[in-house]
Amino acid sequence: MAILKILTYPEKSLSQPSVKVNAITEDIKKLTCDMADTMFNAPGVGLAAPQVGVNKRIIIYNTNAANPDEDDSIQEFTALINPEIISGSGSIVSEKEACLSVVDYSADVKRYESVTVKALNIDGKKLKFDAKGILAIIMQHEIDHLDGILFIDRISVLKRTMYKKKIAKKIKDQ
């Protein structure tokens, strides 16, 4: 497949809500495979379509991300079309959460400990599942992308401002 360009902050399109996928076409299926190649190459554990410049409600994630004992060379992914978090419970701090679109930065982010997600799989079958721990964090992080939210939007104003100044200086110095 193909390695796609990952858009990075302050790209304005990353803050735009994504549109619903109306039909799962061959182009959508190819996109999910290209996204997976891109995610594994980066490397990351999840990727949302807006991160590669596609304004559609599609996410993919490393199927084995929640299993740290799994062989890292096994590259299996799951694609979710039009995913939504329909409920969340508990509270956990995602330590040193990072993002392929927010370069050279990580922060602690407060998240739900478990979430219930509904979506379509790549074959158009309706799914509803509970995610806990790292998978719950991945779901929240990637679905946030579909709503135009980056993890830095969920940290303190002070930390976010410091990051934005750092990026502005980096851009200016180029």
pTM of the model: 0.94
pLDDT at 40 over 80: yes
pLDDT at 109 over 70: yes
Residues annotated as catalytic (active site), given as ranges: 142
Q: Tell me: domain 12-173, CATH 3.90.45.10, correct?
A: yes
**Residue 170 pLDDT level (bands cut at 50, 70, 90):** confident
Token pair belonging to 51: 């991160």
Q: What is the mean pLDDT of the chain?
A: 94
Query: For the residues 132-156, what does the mean pLDDT come to?
Result: 97
**Residue 131 to residue 85: CA distance in whole angstroms:** 10
**Residue 133 pLDDT level (bands cut at 50, 70, 90):** very high
**Residue 4 to residue 76: CA distance in whole angstroms:** 18
Q: Where are the domains of the chain?
A: 12-173
**Residue 73 to residue 141: CA distance in whole angstroms:** 24
